[in-house]
Amino acid sequence: MSDTLTSERRAAAPALTPRGAKAWRSPRGRVSFLFRPRTLVVGLALVAVSLAALVVSVSVGDYQIPISAVPAALMGFGERLDVFFVQGVRLPRALTAIGVGAALGIAGAVFQSLSRNALGSPDIIGFTSGAATGAVAAILLLGAGRLVVSLGAVAGGLITAGVVYLLAMKNGVQGYRLVLVGIGVSAMLASVRDYLMTRADLTDALGAQIWMIGSLNSRGWAEVGAVWIGLAVLAPVIFAVGRRLRFLELGEETARGLGVSAQSTQIIALAAASALTGAAIAVAGPIGFVALAAPQLARRLTRTGGTTLVGAALMGSALLVVADLVAMRLMAPTQLPVGVVTAVIGGSYLIWLLYTEWRGGRV
């Protein structure tokens, strides 16, 4: 009797796996996990795109380095100027782009998952808005340099996120209330920013505007360190609560029924994602649209139902490093702020995806 049951179950196993997933079992069945070939292929493709863009952006510029000379220059051999440009200027910039993109992608995925809203992004708890206002105030009121501006941004972002969370707290934090309070606080900060921008001198205002668009111009190894250390510390925390986030997407009551503590998961994920956003903003300014688009693009490419953290990270990296390459070269020698390009590329790509889905008649 029991034998038949087991064999039946074994036979039925493939049908029980989620749509498009394949099971991998080690020969003796000790280790097994599910994977989806499509997710794997998309992930590898995104890594390949990022690496290709990295190599190209290291080699092109007003000072051309042939791609064949790039590997040597990366290792520190070859002509002195090659090494200087690759190691001192272009590589750190590209690595910053990859790190910032990954940070924004992960943060966006967390916020969309927590708010259960496709429009969710770090903006909703006022973090981006607070950071932008802090930085604009530092630029326009203090005339500060880049380090102080970064500090102003992080301080503004953290204070705002804290205020929003406290204001939304009342017998626990309810996602819907958090979002609405975030909107209110963001709007107030935006009007402060508008005030400062319209009263400032034109040149200062333009500087502040460029910061708010987000730029990777002349970022060096210090920035690489800041964003990658942030990623190394915070990404594992978020991946660790990733599964619980998926449960939370089912609704707080269901999640609690499944043994997930909603409150603590929320706080951990919110804090870690905000800190990641903070690192990204401090390094590059509030580059728009990556946090919003990367999770959506990843999920449409992999055709998974839920939010994929790794996919969002890889998508964010690829998006930003490609965008920065375009920003450097499009109007050369004038360097566009990368935020201009992420918005145009990311937005067009999302439009194209929506359009093809529209043609295909899928939801």
Partner 1 sequence: MVLRAPTPTRPTLTRRVIRPIGLIIALGALAVCALLSVTVGAKPIPAADVWAALTDYDGSYDHDVIRSLRVPRTIIGVFVGAALGLAGALMQALTRNPLAEPGILGINSGAAAAVVVAVFVFGAGGAGLVWPAFIGAAFAAVAVYALGSRGRASATPVRLALAGTALAAVLQGLIYGVIVLNDFVFDRIRFWQVGSLTGRDLDIFFQVAPFLVIGVVVTLALGPSLNAMALGDDLAATLGAKIPLIRAATAVGVILLCGAATAAAGPIWFVGLIIPHAARVITGPDQRWLLPYAAVLGAVLLTAADTVGRVILPNSELEVGIITALVGAPLFIALVRSRKMAQL
Give me the residues paired with residue 33 across strands: 24
Asked if 167 interacts with partner 1 (CB under 8 A), we say yes
The span of 47-55, 95-103, 230-238, 290-298 binding partner 1 (CB under 8 A) equals 290-298
Q: How far apart are CA 215 and CA 327, in angstroms?
A: 9
Q: Which amino acid is at 341?
A: V
Measured from the CB atom, the residue of 177 and 246 that comes closer to partner 1 is 177
Each residue 174-193 as x (binds partner 1 by CB under 8 A) or -, in order, gives --xx-xxx-xxx-xx-xxx-
Q: How far apart are CA 128 and CA 260, in angstroms?
A: 29
The span of 46-54, 62-70, 256-264, 341-349 binding partner 1 (CB under 8 A) equals 341-349
Interacting positions 197-256 with partner 1 (CB under 8 A): 197-198, 202, 205-206, 209-210, 213
Residue 249 C-beta: closest distance to partner 1, Å = 14
Give the sign of the dihedral formed by CA 130, CA 131, CA 132, CA 137.
positive
Candidate residues 226, 298, 315, 336; the one interacting with partner 1 per rule CB under 8 A: 336
Measured from the CB atom, the residue of 185 and 262 that comes closer to partner 1 is 185
Strands (E), 229-274: none
Give the sign of the dihedral formed by CA 277, CA 278, CA 280, CA 285.
positive
Give the CA count within 13 Å in the CB-facing half-sphere of 50: 24
Computed on alpha carbons and rounded to an integer, the radius of gyration of the chain in Å comes to 22
Measured from the CB atom, the residue of 230 and 337 that comes closer to partner 1 is 337
Measured from the CB atom, the residue of 144 and 190 that comes closer to partner 1 is 190
Measured from the CB atom, the residue of 69 and 353 that comes closer to partner 1 is 353
The span of 137-145, 276-284, 301-309, 344-352 binding partner 1 (CB under 8 A) equals 344-352
Q: What is the 3-state secondary structure (H, E, C) of 92-158?
A: HHHHHHHHHHHHHHHHHHHHHHHHCCCCCCHHHHCHHHHHHHHHHHHHHHHCCCHHHHHHHHHHHHH
Residue 258 C-beta: closest distance to partner 1, Å = 23
Measured from the CB atom, the residue of 155 and 190 that comes closer to partner 1 is 190
The span of 42-50, 139-147, 170-178, 240-248 binding partner 1 (CB under 8 A) equals 170-178
Measured from the CB atom, the residue of 58 and 301 that comes closer to partner 1 is 301
Candidate residues 34, 67, 331, 332; the one interacting with partner 1 per rule CB under 8 A: 331
Question: Do 102 and 286 meet the contact criterion of CB atoms below 8 Å apart?
Answer: no
Asked if 334 interacts with partner 1 (CB under 8 A), we say yes
Measured from the CB atom, the residue of 228 and 289 that comes closer to partner 1 is 289
Tokens representing residue 284 in the block? 């590059």
Interacting positions 116-135 with partner 1 (CB under 8 A): 117-119, 124
Q: What are 44-50's contacts with CB under 8 Å, separation 24+?
A: 46/311, 46/314, 46/315, 46/317, 46/318, 47/314, 47/318, 49/318, 49/322, 50/98, 50/314, 50/317, 50/318, 50/321
Question: Do 115 and 179 meet the contact criterion of CB atoms below 8 Å apart?
Answer: yes
Residues that bind partner 1 (CB under 8 A): 117-119, 124, 167-168, 170, 176-177, 179-181, 183-185, 187-188, 190-192, 194-195, 197-198, 202, 205-206, 209-210, 213, 288-289, 292-293, 296, 331, 334, 336-337, 339-344, 346-348, 350-351, 354-355, 357-359, 361, 363
